[in-house]
Structure 1
Amino acid sequence: MKSIADEESKKYQSHFSEYIKKNIAGDDMEALYKKVHATIRAYPTMAKSTKEPPKTHKS
């Protein structure tokens, strides 16, 4: 993440725009994954989706 940010800033901004919006740096990724995995282990049941299933299927 750091090397692409230094070399190609436009490409970095387009690829990592969601991370930039949420103020997540490349150094924070490992801690973020550990936090997410700990949360999943604490509540391992799968949550039901609130989205409605599609009415027509795409072929």
Structure 2
Amino acid sequence: MKSIADEEPKKYQTHFSEYIRKNIAADDMEALYKKVYAAICAYPTMARSTKEPPKTHKNWIYLAVY
């Protein structure tokens, strides 16, 4: 994260825009990962999604070009 910020600022802005928006710096990443890991270990069961499954499935036909 630090090296991209120094070498390619535009690429850094596009790739890490969410981190920039939330004011998370490269030095904060290790603490963030530890915090997330501790939260996952505290409640290891998978949370169920509140989204409904799709009612119809899309059928895609793939045509081979010869």
TM-score band by shorter chain is: 0.7 to 0.9
Aligned mates of 1:29, 1:12 — CA distance in 2? 15
TM-score scaled by length of structure 1 = 0.87
Whether 2:39 is the aligned partner of 1:39: answer: yes
Gaps of 5+ in 1: none
- In the TM superposition, 1:1-59 aligns within 5 A as 1-58=1-58, 59=60
Aligned length: 59
Structure showing greater radius of gyration is 2
4+ residue runs of structure 1 moved beyond 4 angstroms?
none
Which consecutive unaligned segments of at least 5 residues does structure 2 have?
61-66
Deviation at 1:25, TM superposition (A): 0.8
TM-score (norm 2): 0.79
Which residue of structure 1 aligns with residue 64 of structure 2?
A: none
Between Structure 1 and Structure 2, which shows a larger proportion of helix residues? 1
Residue-by-residue CA offset, 1:17-40 (whole Å, 9 max, x unaligned):
111111111111111111111011
Amino acid in the other structure paired with 2:40: I
Amino acid at match of 2:25: A
Residue 48 of structure 1: CA displacement?
0.7
